[in-house]
Amino acid sequence: GAVVSQHPSWVICKSGTSVKIECRSLDFQATTMFWYRQFPKQSLMLMATSNEGSKATYEQGVEKDKFLINHASLTLSTLTVTSAHPEDSSFYICSAYQTQNNEQFFGPGTRLTVL
């Protein structure tokens, strides 16, 4: 299967700082990538759909000014958590859509802890 990477795999930051998470499709181009959030023992909740070269589409209840998404190339999408607070601590997972297989391939996730 196709490979999607995320960086960093984990990050600890102080409250009020911003954190950037990268999502890369390593062996295919992805015009669409997705960002999910997963709290402990809960399922994945879609935060936003990221389309290359255009603005992201955010799900209801997700603050677009807090979670900035940039999809500047066909292999890279970034999620920036601005002014992070402890309640933003979560597991953030991205996926990249491969049109050839009509399948989403998921990254390994980034664990964010905000102190």
Partner 1 sequence: QKEVEQDPGPLSVPEGAIVSLNCTYSNSAFQYFMWYRQYSRKGPELLMYTYSSGNKEDGRFTAQVDKSSKYISLFIRDSQPSDSATYLCAMSASAAGNKLTFGGGTRVLVKP
Residues belonging to the chain: 115
Is residue 6 within 8 A of residue 95, CB to CB? The reply is no
Tell me the chain's radius of gyration from C-alpha atoms: 13
Give CA–CA dist 67/93, Å, rounded.
Answer: 13
For position 97 contacting partner 1 by CB under 8 A, the verdict is yes
Give CA–CA dist 74/96, Å, rounded.
Answer: 10
Region of 12-20, 63-71, 74-82, 94-102 interacting with partner 1 (CB under 8 A): 94-102
Q: Where do we find the tokens 């015009």?
A: 31
Number of residues that bind partner 1 (CB under 8 A): 28
CB of 102 to partner 1, least distance (A): 5
Q: Which of 11, 13, 45, 74 binds partner 1 (CB under 8 A)?
A: 45
Q: Which of 19, 24, 32, 58 binds partner 1 (CB under 8 A)?
A: 32
For position 95 contacting partner 1 by CB under 8 A, the verdict is yes
